[in-house]
Amino acid sequence: MPHIPLRVLVLEDHSFQRSVAVNLLRQLGCQAVFEAADGAEALAVLQACGPVDIALCDLHMEGMDGLEFLQRIGNTGQVGSIIISSSLSGDLRRSVRQIISLLGLEFLGDLGKPLRLEALESLLKKRLRARGTRRPPRRPPEVLQEDEIRHALAEHQLQAYYQPKFDLHTGDVCGVEVLARWEHPSKGVLSPALFMPVLERCGLMDQLLFRQMEQALTLQHKVRGLGHTLNMAFNLQAEQLTNDQLAPRIKALLARHSAVGAGLTFELTENGLLEASETSIKNLVRLRMMGCSLAIDDFGAGFSSLQRLCLLPFTEIKLDAEFVRTLKQEPRCQAAIYSTLALGRALDMSVVVEGIETDEQRRHLLRLGANIGQGYLCARPMSEADLLGWLSQQRICA
């Protein structure tokens, strides 16, 4: 009999099914297998026998149910990971998975009922692999000071990086999203998570935006000289739209670079537009009148998407990457993607699907009717020099 160095607790109120689970785990060679008929008994087992690697949990039980048990053990370190084994409907089990994540517990898998030996063995091996490759906890991110950020802006250390959008059918590049990276002289390339909050707090977002636009429009001119047209997409925050000089400044910048608004897209997250002011709407309208496209970013992550689409002059929907991450496991995500694509067609808006990392996801999205995507499958964000070299090997949409 094989030996698997795992301690497993079976939480199941049906005596026969509990016996089946215990026997399967012992057949697979688990180091120790404990059992309990409800949550209260499971807590007592943990108290008496110590922590376990895995809790195999039913959810609907008399007495303390699986949900309360999970809540009691969240962040206690008593259970390494959770396997759900329940006859509840798929939508309820998916919601429980979210609860597990919010409680700080590791979700290992959902086996449903009845238990199958092969599926259970696969999850046990998954747990062993995870334990063998677990990394030490990350150090908390460094807190950067305002004077450091201002110095970085003055010294042009905050550089525009570019992540392509691509045609899912052909792989052709359709445009790029302009992102910010800090090319620190001693610390290397720093993530925006380290400096963006300081820029926002200190009112420096406009300074960053126009620095990025200067760089991106210069690059756009270079690419145009090579016979290509490359749309540049910039992130805008709702707060920036309250500045009545925003659109005039962008118009002047375009004139200075002999560029046209049709070559630009501005991406706005829906959460920041819950109460758009008169000035905000006026800026959006002026940007559209200049020929710029407007994208609602992270679509589906907020609470008022449809209202925003109806009231504000958007031309593009960027579907949040979370829908793609769970595309294979979550039938509802497939329905949400399909419905968003249909909505885009009905509103005459393009839809860009974010977060595409595998060719399997690309093919699945094509079957759902998607055309344009963004993600690591095509390319990661890159510097201007790297982008120019990369583009020389790619095709660009006309």
Cα–Cα separations (whole angstroms), residue 249 to 207, 287, 290: 12, 11, 12
Beta-strand ranges (E) seen in 66-135 are 79-84, 106-110
What is the spatial distance between Cα 130 and Cα 362, in angstroms, rounded to a whole number? 27
* SS3 assignment, position 336: helix
Q: For the sheet with 30-36, list strands across it.
A: 30-36, 4-11, 52-57, 79-84, 106-110
Q: Name residue 28's amino acid.
A: L
Q: Spell out the residues 6+ positions from residue 329 whose beta carbon is closer than 8 angstroms to its own.
A: none
Q: Name residue 230's amino acid.
A: L
Q: Spell out the residues 6+ positions from residue 252 whose beta carbon is closer than 8 angstroms to its own.
A: none
Helix (H) or strand (E) holding 4: strand 4-11
Helix (H) or strand (E) holding 206: helix 205-225
Q: Name residue 16's amino acid.
A: F
What is the spatial distance between Cα 284 and Cα 304, in angstroms, rounded to a whole number? 18
Contact predicate 397/223, CB 8 Å: no
Q: Is 354 a catalytic residue?
A: yes
Catalytic choice (354, 357, 360, 384): 354
Positions annotated as catalytic residues are 354
